[in-house]
């Protein structure tokens, strides 16, 4: 099929009777015919693929997995675009996350120094930057202007949430005569990215659309660990340590830390494993009962009576079934969450008073601090590779894809796989069992 990188043979290998493997081919704008001028490069052949066994990404059973073959990321011997005539653009969308500036910097540096593209433009304040009515200026980004942006948190381009018509975005791409657009964002941004790529295809425009998945919640499908997650856990552990200090500093002290995790409890779980002083961790994937045999409140009271202190980590999306949902959504279309931590604090105070148990409560919400800090060393390395591989893919004429790292390999992922669902913590996994073993919280339930 024209416009596809159809590697014959092994798109999947699976057991008889198992579900059909999804298509992992990556769309291309056309044959790459221009010899690459990249210096000192070790090129990746077009044919080799990376084979990876997947399970939770496709909702398979515990004892079942599917072997998929993904296109390997890296520089190709030939480019589709003529670098001297290529204009790229970068846009950042959604909430802040450690490492965004590192990705921006890596893209600009790679495009300028190794490919010598004509220009790299920064689109200001998310998808709004494509809309003329907002009047946001476009920033022509040079290596000297981005050389130190990785030292700061946030995004130098600014960000925004909310829907913008893909037709209007593509109109803007045509007006700016762009060849490549890099979308840095989360689940909603990747869906918008997919619609923009489909609109470009419908108009037969030769514009490469490349996504770089960004989410502090680590909830993008087929992305084993999103950039910024490692930094977020680092920052979160400091808050948990403070909560532990507060809890042990008072008789029957309880420290509660609220962490990000709208639908996925990865930050809460990983922080618990990193800071092994957490006694209870509550995540969206695990049902939460306040009272009864598996009630959290009596279990907490038992722990406090025995040890006279406790530390609780709560993902923001935990226990939403206990909150009064108002049906509202934010600008990105996400449901507005109920305040589970207020409910927990109120119920704790009420129950402890009824049981005549003294209680000193301390609550810490470090959410905006965690997402706004600069990336740590591990995330900086990761972001650098993501930015570089995004440029390699774009210059080779790839489109409708994202850069991901799975099982130690950098690969090209079709947007259709990334947007198919949100990644969630598997509560029947060895990983979650290790979290529960670390907290010991099950010992306090009846």
**pLDDT, mean of residues 186-190:** 93
pLDDT, position 332: 64
Contact 188, 333 (CB under 8 A): yes
Residues 217 and 77 in one domain: yes
pLDDT, position 185: 96
Residues 171 and 214 in one domain: yes
Please indicate, yes or no, if residue 423 is contained in any of the structural domains. Answer: no
Taking the C-alpha atoms of residue 391 and residue 108, their distance in angstroms, rounded to an integer, is 9
SS3 294: coil
Please indicate, yes or no, if residue 7 is contained in any of the structural domains. Answer: no
pLDDT, position 45: 80
Residues 78 and 59 in one domain: yes
What value does the mean pLDDT of the chain take?
Answer: 91
SS3 281: strand
Please indicate, yes or no, if residue 129 is contained in any of the structural domains. Answer: yes
Residues 265 and 410 in one domain: no
Residues 348 and 220 in one domain: no
Residues 406 and 440 in one domain: no
**pLDDT, mean of residues 78-93:** 97
Residue among 45, 51, 148, 217 flagged as catalytic? 217
Torsion angle, alpha carbons of 33, 396, 51, 217, to 10: -170
When divided into structural domains, the chain yields a total of 2
Residues 197 and 238 in one domain: no
Residues 220 and 368 in one domain: no
Percent of the chain with pLDDT over 70: 91
pLDDT, position 263: 92
Whether 211 shows a pLDDT value over 50: the answer reads yes
Whether 337 shows a pLDDT value over 70: the answer reads yes
pLDDT tens, position by position, 49-69 = 888 777 666 665 656 778 889
Torsion angle, alpha carbons of 40, 111, 76, 415, to 10: 150
Please indicate, yes or no, if residue 2 is contained in any of the structural domains. Answer: no
**pLDDT, mean of residues 212-220:** 93
Residues 206 and 255 in one domain: no
**pLDDT, mean of residues 5-32:** 67
Length of the chain, please? 446
Whether 327 shows a pLDDT value over 70: the answer reads no
CATH code of the domain in which 310 resides: 3.40.50.460
**pLDDT, mean of residues 364-390:** 96
Run of H or E residues at 242? helix 229-248
Residues 77 and 21 in one domain: yes
pLDDT, position 2: 40
Structural domain for 320, as ranges: 230-372+429-444
Least trusted range by pLDDT, from 15-29, 211-225, 254-268, 303-317: 15-29
pLDDT, position 168: 98
Please indicate, yes or no, if residue 4 is contained in any of the structural domains. Answer: no
The C-alpha angle 380, 384, 388, rounded to 5 degrees, equals: 170
- Is position 217 annotated as part of the catalytic site? yes
Query: CB under 8 Å to 379, separation ≥6 — which residues?
Result: 98, 99, 102, 227, 228, 229, 230, 231
**pLDDT, mean of residues 143-171:** 96
Whether 27 shows a pLDDT value over 70: the answer reads yes
Where residue 11 falls among pLDDT bands split at 50, 70, 90? very low
Please indicate, yes or no, if residue 304 is contained in any of the structural domains. Answer: yes
> Of residues 159 and 7, which shows the higher confidence score?
159
Question: Secondary structure of 113-126 in the HEC alphabet?
Answer: HHCCCCEEEEECCH
Residues 106 and 252 in one domain: no
Q: Is 221 exposed, middle or buried (0-12, 13-18, 19+ CB in 10 A)?
A: buried
Residues 320 and 412 in one domain: no
Please indicate, yes or no, if residue 6 is contained in any of the structural domains. Answer: no
Please indicate, yes or no, if residue 57 is contained in any of the structural domains. Answer: yes
Contact 111, 120 (CB under 8 A): yes
CATH code of the domain in which 210 resides: 3.40.50.450
**pLDDT, mean of residues 223-247:** 96
């Amino acid at each position: 099929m024209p416009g596809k990188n159809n590697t014959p043979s092994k798109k999947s290998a699976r057991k008889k009777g198992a579900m059909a493997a999804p298509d992992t081919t990556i769309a291309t704008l056309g044959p790459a015919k221009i010899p690459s001028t990249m210096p000192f490069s070790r090129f990746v052949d077009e044919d080799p693929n990376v084979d990876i066994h997947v399970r939770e990404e496709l909702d398979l059973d515990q004892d079942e997995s599917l072997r998929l073959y993904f296109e390997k990321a890296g520089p190709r011997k030939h480019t589709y675009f003529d670098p001297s005539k290529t204009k790229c653009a970068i846009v950042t969308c959604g909430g802040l996350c450690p490492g965004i500036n590192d990705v921006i910097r890596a893209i600009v540096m790679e495009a300028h120094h190794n490919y010598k593209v004509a220009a790299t433009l920064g689109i200001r304040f998310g998808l709004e930057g494509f809309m003329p009515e907002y009047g946001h200026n476009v920033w022509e980004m040079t290596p000297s202007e981005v050389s130190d942006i990785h030292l700061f948190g946030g995004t130098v381009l600014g960000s925004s949430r909310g829907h913008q018509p893909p037709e209007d975005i593509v109109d803007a791409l045509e007006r700016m005569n762009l060849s490549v657009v890099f979308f840095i964002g989360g689940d909603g941004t990747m869906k918008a990215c997919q619609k923009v790529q489909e609109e470009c295809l419908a108009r037969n425009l030769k514009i490469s659309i490349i996504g770089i998945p960004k989410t502090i919640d680590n909830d993008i499908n087929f992305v084993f660990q999103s950039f910024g997650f490692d930094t977020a856990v680092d920052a979160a552990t400091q808050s948990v340590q403070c909560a532990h200090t507060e809890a042990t500093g008072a008789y029957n002290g309880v420290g509660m830390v609220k962490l990000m995790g709208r639908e996925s409890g990865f930050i809460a779980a990983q922080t618990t494993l990193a800071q092994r002083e957490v006694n209870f961790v509550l995540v969206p994937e695990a049902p939460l009962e306040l009272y009864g045999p598996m009630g959290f409140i009596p279990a907490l009271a038992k722990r406090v009576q025995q040890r006279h202190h406790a530390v609780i980590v709560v993902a923001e999306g935990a226990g939403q079934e206990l909150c009064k949902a108002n049906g509202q959504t934010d600008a990105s279309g996400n449901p507005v969450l109920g305040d589970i931590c207020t409910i927990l604090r109120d119920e704790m105070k009420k129950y402890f008073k009824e049981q005549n148990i003294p209680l000193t409560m301390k609550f810490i919400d470090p959410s905006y601090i965690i997402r706004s800090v600069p990336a740590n060393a591990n995330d900086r390395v990761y972001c650098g590779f993501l930015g570089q591989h995004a440029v390699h893919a774009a210059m080779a004429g790839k489109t409708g894809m994202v850069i991901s790292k799975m099982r130690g390999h950098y690969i090209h992922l079709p947007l259709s796989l990334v947007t198919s669902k949100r990644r969630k913590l598997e509560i029947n996994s060895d990983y979650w069992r290790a979290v529960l073993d670390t907290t010991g919280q099950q010992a306090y339930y009846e």
